[in-house]
Structure 1
Amino acid sequence: MEFRHLGRSGLMVSEISYGNWITHGSQVEEDAARECVQAALDEGITTFDTADVYAGTKAEEVLGRALKGVRRDSVEIFTKVYWPTGPGPNNRGLSRKHITESIHGSLRRLQTDYVDLYQAHRFDHETPLEETLKTFDDLVRQGKVLYIGVSEWTAAQIEQAIKIADEMGFDRLVSNQPQYSMLWRVIEAEVVPLCEKVGVGQIVWSPIAQGVLTGKYLPGQPPPAASRATDPSGSGFIERFLSREDLLAKVQDLKPVAADLGLTMAQLAVAWVLQNPNVSSAIVGASRPEQVRDNVKASGVRLDDDVMRRIDEILDGVVERDPAHTARVSPPKRP
């Protein structure tokens, strides 16, 4: 396993991190989740990403139990806040009240005194950004949070947050967590250039496009049973890919590229996102330990320019690049 700085911070993270968005507390039983976490640790992954909303807070609980007994200073634990975790109007968003209550809940579920990175899961249009950043900064000063990040924020929102932090003397954002893959490149036009300028690193999710880039979803055929496409918590994200027969056909054309390099399709997909120097870590999920062991082999793989061009030529016409997609991810009103 190789390691990278998280943005321009001093924190080192494993360039492949383990995430439990759909799996823990939802798609797989706890014993299988524990086995996947142990496989991640055995393979050198030190960075673990979750969120309070995953599986209705159960994912944090499962991860906390799975990491129990592991030396706390040997791992980096990331979580997030924004989406509803209760029925009330203040059980959501990025207000001082919700952030403060949510971090206490996350620490309790994760069985830890602090998280290494606390992320704003979306941009909250209903809370002054100054209030959100001041609350995050207070948590840093209290020792409950070490670093602050965001997820799926636009370049303009990240730039505004950096400006306010500098003006008010708050800790700066060090990371952004966007969707990024060979098929979904919407961060490249605006988010990545801005983040390179201000020292924010990308912790990318869905580098395998919810499994589409493994090649297991075939044109004209139903998705395999028990796959991401059949899980209610993740199926909405994958539909945009599965609805396109031309895209699925082109993904099949990537198989010779992977074979020529001695890589699996999943390894090729993860290695591809890691070629971007602004990417600090790529999040992989798993329902079986062997998936973890397969994915980590992408660490340290270098794809030469000819391979990158070949991939671009194969996927020409099916890659999504419009940066406007990021702006639509954060609801105008709290959910």
Structure 2
Amino acid sequence: VKAGKVRYVGLSNESPYGVAEFVAQAEAHGLPRVATVQNPYALTSRALDNGLDEVMHRLQVSLLAYSPLAFGALTGKYDEVGLHGSARPGRLAMFETMKRQRWGRPEALEAAKLYNALARKHGLTPTQLALAFCYTNWRVASTIIGVTSTAQLDENLAAWGTTLSPELLAEIDAIRWKHRDPAQ
């Protein structure tokens, strides 16, 4: 940072204690302050809401939410065929190791189906709901998305102006209370 080769310091996959300790050590030793944390944040992965969000808010550290579409599970592409039946599988379905990780767990896929159905019920695509949830959340400074086509990029960008009604947010919360952070 002092040499100008790096503008800001960030952390990835960090805990509340880790963020607080990095900030404290930077301040105590005159080091560059942590500006941001890159952690997973999606409808099916909201562990950040369980305390890390407060630490980051109070210490003025921003969130770069990664995998807001839960490796494609929150786009609806696995709803009907699961991880084994697609002629054009996504990354989550292509590799056995990916199927066993957070986004491919049966409970995470089941919760994703519920959120995707909720989106459709409210006239949204699953992608619109998932990204609007992140785009409009006070915790999120920016999202890290991955696309494999221009159409996917267009849909991700189109979700930017989507507003979620209080009723829809209440339904999101109802799903979360039944399926608490299944992609953790």
| TM-score by shorter chain over 0.5 | yes
Counterpart position of 1:311:
172
TM superposition shift of 1:163: 0.8
The whole-number CA distance in structure 2 between the counterparts of 1:190 and 1:282 is 20
The letter of the residue matching 1:236 is: M
Counterpart position of 2:45:
184
CA RMSD, aligned part only? 2.6
Which structure dedicates a bigger proportion of its chain to helix? 2
TM superposition shift of 1:272: 0.7
Identify which of 200, 221, 228 aligns with 2:91.
228
The letter of the residue matching 2:90 is: S
Contact 1:202-1:280 within 8 A present in 2 as well:
yes
Identity %: 26
TM superposition shift of 1:166: 1.0
Give the gaps of 5 or more residues in structure 2: none
The whole-number CA distance in structure 1 between the counterparts of 2:20 and 2:150 is 39
TM superposition shift of 1:226: 3.1
The whole-number CA distance in structure 1 between the counterparts of 2:81 and 2:148 is 25
Counterpart position of 1:153:
14
Residue 73 of structure 2 corresponds to residue 203 of structure 1: no
- Residue 254 of structure 1 aligns to a residue in which SS? helix
The whole-number CA distance in structure 2 between the counterparts of 1:271 and 1:238 is 27
* Residues 1:315 and 1:161: Cα distance change in structure 2 (over 3 Å): closer
* Residues 1:258 and 1:304: Cα distance change in structure 2 (over 3 Å): same
How high is the TM-score relative to the length of structure 1?
Answer: 0.49
The letter of the residue matching 2:98 is: G
TM superposition shift of 1:289: 1.1
TM superposition shift of 1:253: 3.8
Counterpart position of 1:284:
145
The whole-number CA distance in structure 2 between the counterparts of 1:279 and 1:180 is 9
TM superposition shift of 1:235: 5.0
Give the gaps of 5 or more residues in structure 1: 1-139, 326-335
The whole-number CA distance in structure 2 between the counterparts of 1:315 and 1:278 is 17
TM superposition shift of 1:220: 6.9
Size of the aligned set, in residue pairs, is: 182
Contact 2:74-2:112 within 8 A present in 1 as well:
yes
* 266-275 vs 193-202, which moves further: 266-275
Larger radius of gyration: 1
Deviation string, structure 1 residues 115-150 (Cα, Å, up to 9, x no partner): xxxxxxxxxxxxxxxxxxxxxxxxx11110111111
